Amino acid sequence: MSTRPATLKVESEVQSFEGTQRERVPVLIFDDPGLMSLQVARRVANLVEERRVVGKKAVLGLPTGSTPIGVYGHLIRMHRQEGLDLSNVVTFNLDEYFPMDPASLQSYHRFMRENFFDHVNIPESQIHIPRGNLARTDVETFCLQYEHAIQKAGGIDLLLLGIGRSGHIGFNEPGSNLTTRTRLIVLDEITKKDAASDFFGEENVPREAITMGVGTILDAREIILLATGEHKAPIIRRAVEEEPNKEVTASFLQLHRDVSFYVDRAAAGALTREKTPWLVQTVRWTRELSKRAVIWLSQQTGKALMRLEEGDFHRYHLHELLQAWPDTDSLLREVFEDLRGRIRYQDQLLKGEKVILFSPHPDDDVISMGGMLDKLVQNRNDVTVAYMTNGSVAVFDSDVRRYLHFMELGMPAWDLPKKTVADLQKRYAEIRAFLDTKRPGEVDTGTVQQIKAYIRYAEAIAGIEVMGLGSSHARFLDMPFYRTGRVKKDPIGPEDVAIVRGLLSELQPSHIFVAGDLSDPHGTHRMCYQAIALALEEYRTEVGERAPLVWLYRGAWQEWEIDRADVFIPMSKANLNRKIEAIFKHESQKDRAMFPGAYDSREFWERARDRNTQTAEALNALGLPEFYAAEAYVCVRSM
């Protein structure tokens, strides 16, 4: 027996389970998703050692997706650096698309090898993944054999799960029942939309998949479900707080004897104890929590803040809040004045300052904060827009063809030498030949990636020109982590951080604007945020108190909640129209975007319009000044 105390030590955050009476399964909430992944990895390591001690194999059920990658990364590190021996591990993966070549970029066989199996010492004979390259006539037999293999291995000791935004576990879509076993299933529309980015278009997503059934999953001796990100919060609440039901198959996990949900703070955001804790526990009424509760009460009653009465607090079980304040009027006036003081008109915004706006993609600047950008320019601030990635993966091949036609038709206007024209026509033919034979999801050639990047760059410049800026105000950082030609990106590395750090040192801004919407379904916003945070930490050691104030904005998917926002920027109809005009300049993302995200068929300009008008309407409903639209921001000194 080998002993590795460092490996087997469990590190955890202090968990409070007060106020969990509406939660039907144990839920552990982590402020740091990395620590969450580490704790799950250590649970796996413990299990492997426990089984080794008694001379048995540890049987694991494994998922794919972005959430478990952190767990796999820790297990790889523990294997390489701490001597964790995984030779006694048997694995069964949850699912695979059908049909699917194991070598395909989207194959779960390839995912598991690239992210885990190729880096540890689990014997090949002990790895089991559903096969997507079977003849349809062989699928039923294979599924029966898969179930038999699980039983022959002694059953699954520990099963790790993710959760889809439809509430599926594995590919058990809404409507799946408790008795289902490994089988071929038709994918739900929402699942296909979520997978569209991996396949470069929903039309390329397979219609079916092979998945473990709900019954197979519930047979595991222990289950851990992992979830991160604000976009998972609504379905986590339903899976945890609603009774088991077929519409949310993850809710069936409530019937298991040993299941835990491991979630980060963002994914837990819709749970009652997080969103409205006063409904389930005694709380300490801080000013921030008092403000959140009063805003909630206003929304529940449909009354403006200053029209609320003492009886409203009692009817909605907020009498303890009243006890924490001298009287109702002082509480309401405090909240009202706090919110009113957060509204900043143009003459109250920055003037003559040096500003960097970090835009993860080449359109996030105008989609997310076009109103603020417009006012910063009008106030004569020295603004630099730093586009962190080239956005090439989100450009359709048809856009490349369109620009090739433009170049060919425009050649006579440039009066080019015949040899140059011949060389260009040869290059165009080569590019067309590649596009004509390109398979769905195939990585573009370096030339095509570059052309797509230049398309995005030109659109970005056109967008900021609407606001009065030009090409001299744009920096295209083209960060290395993004340059894979695939939806899946590389981890943030020292070179990425150095690029951001260099820009900070060069321009020495007093204010920076950063995308703080960690719900971005493709992960690029989260990764850009990480790179900026690391660079800013280094930069602070150099400049100390001269470090910039950080303004966090949110993107196409949601806006800051009223109680969390530090600043509201009012916008007139003309302001909003100018913002929309700037968004329109991003023609490759207009009408039909490559990666619109699931659940929402609106174009990006429509989402921005609706989000900004809804924020203004929410402020007006509270009794605050009425605006046509508004943007919201959070200000922090450190990230």
Q: What is the pLDDT of residues 186-209, one digit of tens each?
A: 998 888 877 877 787 778 899 999
557 DSSP 8-state letter: S
Say what the pLDDT of residue 596 is.
61
In this structure, the answer to whether residues 368 and 502 fall within a common structural domain is yes
Task: Please state, as a whole number, how many other Cβ atoms lie within 10 Å of the Cβ of residue 49.
Answer: 19
> Is 353 in the same domain as 281?
no
Are 216 and 150 contacting, i.e. CB atoms less than 8 angstroms apart?
yes
Name the pLDDT band for 601 (thresholds 50, 70, 90). confident
- N- to C-terminal Cα distance for the chain? 44
Same domain assignment for residues 195 and 287: no
Question: What is the spatial distance between Cα 540 and Cα 638, in angstroms, rounded to a whole number?
Answer: 9
Quick one: tokens of 591?
């009408």
> 302 and 177 in one domain?
no
**Cα-to-chain-centroid distance, residue 507:** 29
Pairing relationship of beta strands 354-359 and 511-515 according to DSSP bridges = parallel
Decide: 359 and 528 in contact? Cβ < 8 Å. no
Question: Is the domain of 192 the same as that of 295?
Answer: no
pLDDT, tens digit, 9 for 90 and up, residues 64-85: 988 899 999 999 999 999 999 9
Cβ–Cβ < 8 Å for 386, 478: no
Place of tokens 């040899």: 419
Single-letter code of the amino acid located at 580: I
Q: Is the pLDDT score of 440 beyond 80?
A: no
Answer whether residue 306 is part of any domain: yes
Q: How confident is the model at residue 556 (pLDDT cuts 50, 70, 90)?
A: confident
The per-residue pLDDT for range 265-320, each reduced to its tens digit, is 989 999 999 999 999 999 999 999 999 999 999 999 999 999 999 999 999 999 99
What element of type H or E holds 262? strand 259-264
Domain boundary residue, one of 273, 289, 311:
273
Which residues constitute the domain of residue 325?
276-340
Number of domains in the chain: 3
pLDDT digits (tens, 9 = 90+) for 220-273: 999 999 999 888 999 999 999 999 999 999 999 999 999 999 999 989 999 999
How far is it, in rounded angstroms, from Cα 41 to Cα 33?
A: 12
- Rounded CA gap, 115 and 249, in Å? 27
Structural domain includes residue 436: no
Q: What confidence category does residue 565 fall into, taking pLDDT thresholds of 50, 70 and 90? A: very high
Query: Beta strand 158-161 with 222-227: parallel, antiparallel or unpaired?
Result: parallel
18 is an active site residue: no
Q: Which amino acid is at 357?
A: L
Residue 484, both tokens: 């894979």
Cβ proximity of 588 and 401 under 8 Å: no
Distance CA 311, CA 309 (A): 5
Which residue in 112, 138, 108 sits closest to 206, CA to CA? 108
Q: What is the mean pLDDT of residues 94-98?
A: 97
Residues 33 and 166 in one domain: yes
Write out the two tokens for 557: 């998917």
Q: How confident is the model at residue 7 (pLDDT cuts 50, 70, 90)?
A: very low
| Domain stops at, among 234, 249, 273 | 273
Check whether residue 201 and residue 304 sit in a common domain: no
Residue 419 lies in a domain: no
Confidence of residue 519 (pLDDT cuts 50, 70, 90): low
> What is the separation of C-alpha 585 from the centre of its chain, rounded to a whole number of angstroms?
25
Within a domain: residue 433?
A: no
pLDDT of residue 194: 78
Residue 424 CA, chain-centre distance (Å), reads 41
The sign of the torsion formed by the CA atoms of 237, 240, 243, 248 equals positive
Q: Is residue 422 part of a domain?
A: no
Rounded alpha-carbon distances, angstroms, from residue 69 to 1, 74, 388: 29, 9, 23
Mean pLDDT of 140-151: 98
Extended beta strands in 76-131, E state: 89-93, 95-98, 127-128
Provide the 3-class DSSP secondary structure of residue 239.
helix
Q: How far is 391 from 1, CA to CA, in rounded Å? A: 51
- Residue 522 is predicted with a pLDDT of 52
Rounded distance between C-alpha atoms, residue 156 and residue 418, angstroms: 69
Question: What does the pLDDT look like over 412-437, one tens digit per residue?
Answer: 998 999 999 999 999 999 999 999 99
pLDDT given at position 518:
60
pLDDT band at 153 (very low <50, low <70, confident <90, very high): very high
Q: Within its chain, how far is the Cα of 280 from the centroid?
A: 29
Q: Are 556 and 367 in contact (CB under 8 A)?
A: yes
CB 589 within 8 A of CB 364: no
Residue 356: CATH number of its domain: 3.40.50.10320
Closest CA to 547 of 356, 381, 364: 356
Do 281 and 269 belong together in one domain?
A: no
With respect to residue 413, please indicate whether it lies within any of the assigned structural domains: no
**Domain match, 324 and 194 both:** no
Q: From 119, 121, 146, select the one nearest 132 (Cα to Cα).
A: 146
Residue 381 CB partners (closer than 8 Å, separation 6+): 350, 351, 352, 353, 354, 355
| Res. 3: pLDDT tops 60 | no
Is residue 6 included in any domain, yes or no? no
Q: Is residue 429 part of a domain?
A: no
Radius of gyration of the chain (CA): 27
- The band of 365, judged by pLDDT with boundaries at 50, 70 and 90, is very high
Determine the pLDDT at residue 15.
61
Q: Same domain for 459 and 517?
A: yes
Q: Is beta strand 567-571 parallel, antiparallel or unpaired with respect to 629-636? A: antiparallel
Mark which of 273, 300, 325 sits at the end of a domain: 273
Q: State the catalytic residue, choosing from 49, 147, 173, 241.
A: 173
Higher model confidence: residue 280 or residue 8? Answer: 280
Mean pLDDT of the chain: 92
To 5 degrees, how large is the angle CA 89–CA 94–CA 95? 130
- Whether residue 575 is predicted with pLDDT greater than 80 in this model: the reply is yes
Q: In terms of domains, do 501 and 611 share one? A: yes
The pLDDT assigned to 198 comes to 77
Q: What is the mean pLDDT of residues 523-540?
A: 93
**Are 211 and 281 in a shared domain?**
no
Q: Which amino acid is at 367?
A: I
The distance from CA 502 to its chain's CA centroid, rounded to whole angstroms, is 27
For residues 61 and 217, the answer to whether their CB atoms sit within 8 Å is: yes
